[in-house]
Amino acid sequence: MRLRNKPWAEEMITNHPEVIIPNPEDFKGNWQAVFGNDHPLHIEVGTGKGQFVTGMALQNPDINYIGIELYDSVIVCALENILEAKSPANLRLLKVNGADLNKFFEKNDVDRVYLNFSDPWPKLRHAKRRLTHEGFLKLYESILVDNGEIHFKTDNRGLFEYSLVSMSEYGMLLKYVSLDLHANMPEDNIMTEYEQKFSAKGQPIYRLESQFIT
Ligand code: SAM
């Protein structure tokens, strides 16, 4: 998701260090210091405009959430959503590349990784950029607790099939797979922006939960 350039975004991001952490590398191994508790930490990589992570934080006050987004022009929308929701104490954002997660988190820092409507990168030569590529799975495993989980939603059948194979070949346990999440919508499902858009067009939403095995 790339929005048009917003020259004011950088200033707004800098003005809200209480939401978008400016020095995340300082908290590697010590995220409790940010939240003031040792609740489980769930992160969403590619958080977009932040609707999912904000909804999850409000729904689950005993879980800490971090939304990770690469682009200023996008994360600033997530920031606006969070400010509108009165900045839940259990929610922060990082403006970093998901490929660098191990600069900011170490083993056992994270209890769950969410991936929602990740960019599909359909060309084979871009496969390594897919957030469910083996390289990313290795990265997630290196920061998750033992038996940590990935929860993944997408409208893209090709990416979903690729991810099932990638996780399965990695040796992960596929605990839950749905080819039409909205046919039996879980009561606690929080919709992402893309989920709303694609489900409104009648497209099925695919979802999986997978677990690293130690
Ligand atoms: N998760 C949101 C949703 O479901 O509505 C946004 C989905 S959008 C298709 C994917 C988002 O992931 C974009 O905002 C993009 O900038 C972000 N993204 C892609 N690759 C990323 C990376 N390596 N690190 C951080 N964010 C990334």
Distance CA 83, CA 87 (A): 5
Q: Would residue 161 count as lying in a domain?
A: yes
47: Cβ below 6 Å to ligand 1? yes
Average pLDDT, the chain: 96
Residue 49 structural domain: 38-211
Q: Would residue 13 count as lying in a domain?
A: no
Distance CA 64, CA 114 (A): 13
The secondary element (H helix, E strand) that includes residue 114 is strand 110-116
Residues pairing with 210 in the sheet: 150, 174
Q: Would residue 182 count as lying in a domain?
A: yes
| Band (9; pLDDT cuts 50, 70, 90) | confident
User: Taking residues 132-148, what's their average pLDDT?
Assistant: 98
Distance CA 126, CA 71 (A): 19
1 has pLDDT over 70:
no
Query: Number of folded domains in the chain?
Result: 1
Ligand 1 atom closest to the Cα of residue 99 is 23
Q: Would residue 206 count as lying in a domain?
A: yes
**Ramachandran category for residue 171: left, alpha or beta (phi over 0 → left; psi -120 to 50 → alpha):** left
Ligand 1 atom closest to the Cα of residue 193 is 5
100 is catalytic: no
- Indicate the top mutation candidate among 3, 47, 81, 104 to test ligand 1's pocket, ranked by most ligand atoms within 8 A of CB: 47
Catalytic pick among 119, 146, 180, 188: 119
3: Cβ below 6 Å to ligand 1? no
pLDDT at 47: 98
Strands 144-154 and 91-94: unpaired
Q: Are 92 and 21 in contact (CB under 8 A)?
A: yes
Q: Would residue 176 count as lying in a domain?
A: yes
Q: Would residue 116 count as lying in a domain?
A: yes
Q: Would residue 22 count as lying in a domain?
A: no
Distance CA 109, CA 88 (A): 20
Residue with tokens 């170490």: 106
206 has pLDDT over 60:
yes
Identify the CATH number of the domain in which residue 191 sits: 3.40.50.150
User: Taking residues 105-127, what's their average pLDDT?
Assistant: 98
Q: What percent of the chain has pLDDT over 90?
A: 95
